């Protein structure tokens, strides 16, 4: 990134103002470079931001340990944004993340309100409100990666977190990932439902349900369930034996 120096003053002295990467961010500020072998909360915060870059079929562990998987995810993130792909999270990587996030830590193209049209508290689901909201944040970063991979065109979220009451009202399954805050239903336009389902395979979503799966011809569902289940038969998206969703999700 170019560094601009502004010289101000006369014989009394010169003040140099550096206009480079943001030195602080409303959400979270990293205090130093991170690389393989680093650990702690700073790494975990980084992992959340690059969780949409785990590689095909993979899910990045948000464990605060900067191992080979995190390095590879950082490299994919760097490549996606035209940065030097060294797998080291330094100033240029953090500057890109700062540019991509709002002060509430959500990625710029998604919002908590968009992931929850059920209530304002995130309470009443199958996990605590804090956990549901944290799960939604990770899902949003994966959606941001999905959005970027598909050419930075808008992605429309039609349903996110649901309390038990909201889930019952729409006829959701009792074990639906919407009750955990990590699910999102995506509508078509400008992308097709199949484009969304297919690219979601590369973006850290363990759960993908789309066209051809029962009740999923009008949206593509993605989530962060513990083990992989993909089924969008009309899109060529499947995992394992392609049987019925063990969660009965929708």
Residues with active-site annotation:
216
**Contact range with Zn ion by CB under 5 A, out of 24-32, 84-92, 163-171, 177-185:** 177-185
Nearer to Zn ion among residue 46 and residue 146 (C-beta): 146
Nearer to Zn ion among residue 51 and residue 139 (C-beta): 139
CB of 241 to Zn ion, least distance (A): 21
User: In this chain, which residue has its C-beta nearest to Zn ion?
Assistant: 221
Nearer to Zn ion among residue 96 and residue 162 (C-beta): 162
CB of 235 to Zn ion, least distance (A): 16
Residue corresponding to tokens 């990590």: 182
Nearer to Zn ion among residue 22 and residue 127 (C-beta): 127
Interacting positions 44-103 with Zn ion (CB under 5 A): none
Cα(88)–Cα(166) distance, rounded to whole angstroms? 43
Q: What is the dihedral of CA 208, 212, 215, 217, to 10 degrees?
A: 90
CB of 247 to Zn ion, least distance (A): 10
Interacting positions 180-239 with Zn ion (CB under 5 A): 185, 221
CB of 92 to Zn ion, least distance (A): 36
- Binding characters for Zn ion, 146-175, by CB under 5 A (x = yes): ------------------------------
- Which spans of this chain sit near Zn ion (rule: CB under 5 A)? 185, 221
């Amino acid at each position: 990134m170019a560094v601009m120096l502004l010289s101000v003053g006369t014989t009394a002295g010169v003040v140099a103002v550096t206009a480079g990467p943001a030195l602080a961010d409303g959400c979270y500020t990293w205090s130093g470079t991170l690389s393989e072998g680093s650990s702690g909360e700073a790494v975990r915060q980084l992992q959340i931001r690059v969780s949409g870059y785990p590689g095909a079929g993979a899910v990045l562990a948000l464990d605060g340990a900067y191992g080979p998987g995190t390095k590879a995810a950082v490299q994919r993130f760097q490549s996606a944004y035209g940065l030097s792909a060294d797998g080291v999270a330094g100033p240029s990587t953090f500057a890109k993340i700062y540019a991509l996030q709002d002060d509430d830590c959500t990625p710029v193209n998604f919002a908590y309100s968009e992931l929850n049209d059920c209530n304002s508290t995130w309470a009443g689901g199958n996990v605590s409100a804090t956990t549901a909201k944290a799960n939604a944040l990770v899902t949003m970063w994966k959606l941001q990666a999905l959005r970027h991979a598909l050419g930075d065109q808008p992605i429309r979220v039609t349903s996110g977190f649901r309390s038990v009451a909201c889930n019952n009202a729409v006829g959701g399954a009792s074990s639906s990932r919407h009750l955990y805050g990590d699910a999102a239903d995506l509508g078509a336009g400008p992308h097709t439902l199949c484009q969304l389902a297919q690219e979601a395979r590369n973006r850290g979503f363990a759960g993908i349900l789309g066209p051809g799966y029962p009740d999923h011809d009008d949206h593509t569902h993605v989530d962060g369930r513990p083990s992989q289940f993909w089924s969008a038969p009309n899109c060529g998206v499947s995992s394992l034996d392609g049987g019925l969703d063990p969660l009965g999700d929708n």
